[in-house]
Amino acid sequence: MVKVYKFKLVSIILIIASLLFSLCGTFDIDSYAANVKNPVSQHGRLKVSGSNIVDKNGKKFQLVGMSTHGLAWYPEAVSEKTLKTLRDDWKCNTIRLAMYTEEYGGYCTGVENKKQMLSRVDNGIKLAKKLGMYVIVDWHILSDGDPLIHKKEAKSFFKRMAKKYKGYNNIIYEICNEPNNTSWKANIKPYCKSIIKTIRKYDKRSVIICGSNTWSQDIHEVSQDRITGYKNVAYSLHFYANTHTDWLRQRLTDCHKNGLCVVVTEFGTCDASGNGGFNKSETVKWLKLLKKYKIGCINWSLSNKEETASAIKSGTDISKLKKGSKQLTKSGKLIRKWFRKM
Ligand code: IDC
């Protein structure tokens, strides 16, 4: 009799111990983030379905968020405090990390700069993970209009990212910010196929966003000649409200209706230069259209540079963005107001 009790007691202790052990073992940042209410815990892994981005339940999902200015110029914005304000007060679910390739301090401008960019991108990805936000890793070509120019560097960068972050359900790759003065068929498309292949070797599922010619405006060309053979591929459209108006909205509507999955991974409220021409009414027309189709919208930029596109007033500490609109520019105020009701 005593033996039976002893046996039961030992079994119970063992069961409790193993339960406790397994609880401790699974307490890592991922499962913690998955248990609290945040965009990623609620919507999970995103997919491309026809012309839409959908969440883990297959429901249409709109990516809403801010893009950093260049990570070489304004890395301070990628802080826990600022991202938290964006998430909780602005209702952003996404942060875009703009990593320039050729401009000042960019990834392709020397070994030290490359190291710095890698550590800033890693920091941004980890913070986004912690806060349960989606993160767009942006290979920000601009003056290097043809993506093939830095294809080798791009391949090694995306290989590194895909290997390291393949288990992350919040990561999105934007593989060429704004090709220009080049060709979709001969340059951009082959580049994209090659980078997608590299990423897919390690990461089978993340959403990958491709640019198009003319600073990512020529989605009509893409729509006629899409990348096939891979899932979860989307295309970016970029606009600046005072420069790109009805004609580009019409192009977006046509492509969307034609089944092309488009995400606006960068837009400004002003001129394409980023400075001057703040245009509230054209911005609102765009935002209404994006809201209607649940097309992702990421605003340029989360910086305090003295230029119209900046969301934060110059002189403000961008690593400590507070809730409310006191620290915001005209552009920032308009964007915050709209993001809160997207
Ligand atoms: C601009 C920045 C500006 C910076 C410049 C560097 O706003 O401060 O000096 O880049 O060349 C884009 C680009 C984006 C531009 C932005 C505004 O993706 O890098 O940022 N823009 O010109 N496409 C259209 C507009």
Tens digits of residue pLDDT in 107-130: 999 999 999 999 999 999 999 999
In the reported structure, the alpha carbon of residue 53 is separated from the centroid of ligand 1 by a whole-number distance in angstroms of 26
**Domain spans, the chain:** 49-339
Retrieve residue 37's tokens. 């209410």
Q: How far apart are CA 55 and CA 42, in angstroms?
A: 9
Contact assessment for residue 170 and residue 177, using Cβ atoms and an 8 Å cutoff: no
Give the 3-state secondary structure of residue 70. coil
Residue nearest to atom 6 of ligand 1 (CA): 103
pTM: 0.91
What is 239-287 written as a DSSP string? EETTTS-HHHHHHHHHHHHTT--EEEEEEESS-TTSSS---HHHHHHHH
* Residue 266: active-site member: yes
Residue 88 CB-half CA count within 13 A: 12
Residue type, 150: H
pLDDT one-digit tens code per residue, 300-327: 999 999 999 999 999 999 999 999 999 9
Computed over every residue of the chain, the mean pLDDT equals 94
Give the dihedral sign, CA 35/80/291/219.
Answer: negative
Which residue CA neighbors atom 15 of ligand 1 most closely? 274
What digits encode the pLDDT tens for the residues 11-31? 666 566 555 555 544 444 555
Determine what percent of the chain falls in helix, strand and coil, rounding each to the nearest 5.
45, 15, 40
The CATH number assigned to the domain with range 49-339 reads: 3.20.20.80
Give residues with Cβ within 8 angstroms of 122, minimum separation 6: 164
Q: Is 24 exposed, middle or buried (0-12, 13-18, 19+ CB in 10 A)?
A: exposed
- Residue minimizing CA distance to atom 1 of ligand 1: 274
Closest C-alpha among 68, 54, 47 to residue 121: 68
Q: Which residues of the chain have pLDDT under 70?
A: 1-35
Active-site entry in 76, 103, 153, 266: 266
Which H or E run includes 210?
strand 207-210
